[in-house]
Structure 1
Amino acid sequence: MTIQLNDQVAIVTGAGGGLGRCHALALAARGAKIVVNDLGAEPAEAVAEEIRAAGGEALSHACSVSDYAAVETMVSKVMDQWGRVDILVNNAGILKDKTFAKMELDDFTKVLDVHLIGSVNCTRAVWEIMRNQQYGRIVMTTSSSGLFGNFGQSNYGAAKLAVVGLMQTLALEGQKYNIRVNSLAPTAATQMTEGVLPQEVLDKLKPETVSPGVVFLCSEDAPTRTILAAGAGSFETAHITLTKGVYIGDDEDAADQIAARFAEISDRTGDQVPGMGGAQGQQEITNLMEAQKKG
């Protein structure tokens, strides 16, 4: 199967360098028309020119994704130019790493504004367009720091898990409109990782090795509600699961019973990836009914 994106319009945020640039180039190589968004006008235009020099179509637009009015202006410009938006890659991000004890609340808020609110702003600006055209592919950028935690990144981790929650619901709401929403968890050497990892490791983590995952998630046959992890040419999927659990009841010793049976509660044998949030309640009612039958 050869993925083709001919005549599709893709907005890639934070595309003036690093992962975003590689995503933009990879989508352009498959025929997509690219909107290169970045905070800086010069980096954005440089990438757009790189795409045009290779025979593709691209325009640049500099703005902060945390500014909804500016994002709306960008999307209006795209609609005037090409009349549609098929793909949105929410890639823009910043780092302000410190332990939680030393972190200023302003640094927490700034990271949330770019990663989470930026993703909300861009998605909101294209959502009705995609609904009306009955087609859309949206990629959130999550991180292992959000999925699994990382020392000194409470702000970044919180934002990166938040976009997964956003993905989960938007995938459900967009399903009947053929809008598929997924998340990418990249491991790559970029400006944001300089000084964090040894150089010999960074050399193996080229951003170019991640972008094929974005191409797949933006394709017509893309899945939805998938967390695709990618780095150094390796690809995995991550999952939020629910164990079968144990019925404890509401007796006075319930907390003590939880403590005594916690290993059983946590047993992942037969765990599930819920289709939606209601699965938790369904599992709990099932456990209750099974306990009553044994009663």
Structure 2
Amino acid sequence: MSFTPWRDRAGRLSALRIATLLIMTLPALRLLALWLTDALGPEPLEAATHETGRWAIRLLVATLAVTPLGRVLGWPRLFQLRRMLGLGALAWVLLHFVLYIGDQNWRLLRVGLEIVSRAYLTIGFAALMGLVILGWTSTDGWMKRLGRGWKRLHRLVFPVMLLGLLHAFIQSKSDISRAVVLAGLLVWLLGWRALPARWQTNLVALAGLSLAALLGGVLIEYLWYSAFSNLPAGRIALANLDLAFGPRPAVLAGMICAGVTLLAALLPLWRRLAPR
């Protein structure tokens, strides 16, 4: 594997890879700055643990988004970011786990007992192990060694994503806003992969997927509050119709997906009109 992630496979500096590297690392520098200035609140280690977990899931969603966006936007250069983003997600989840161990005062036996006895920690640890396996076998050497089995193995990314998102929902407790946005985006990403290949760049199908992301987010939010809280799930679901205080999480997910559809519609026009 290359230890110069800012260069493409030909060894050239890549602005796209540099920008991606900055997006993955700058939040860590911000988190460190907040830590050093005592701006993480009364429980800084716990706050940092939660924030690193959120970034791990965001990067995992971004990894799954590479193939659809590359196809939909007609931008195959995006495909070169898939491994980079996946390894970035692994780095963040490992940092998340190390910070959790630190929050437990580095008592490894206690950490092990907590993982075994608490369902959400068991789920999160299973997702971590899955990402470790995927990261370890992401090299060109492993691709050649495993042959056709490599793709089958790396389909583990989907159950890993689902486990990570479930862990995030449980950890979020009563405020699942961020998790609902990611769930809505995941509905779009999985729905896109379920489409026949000829429909995956069809604007009508993409618009339908954007609506599915919104409705899927609303349904997931409703089911979660119904099953695991005493909050009025119906009223929360109906609040998605009220934009007076800004879009609700499910609506935001639908808007992001609709933005991709709009971009896919406008890019061919821009390419025709732009000077060569």
**When the two structures are superposed, what TM-score results if normalisation uses the length of structure 2?**
0.29
- Tell which structure's C-alpha radius of gyration is larger: 1
**When the two structures are superposed, what TM-score results if normalisation uses the length of structure 1?**
0.27
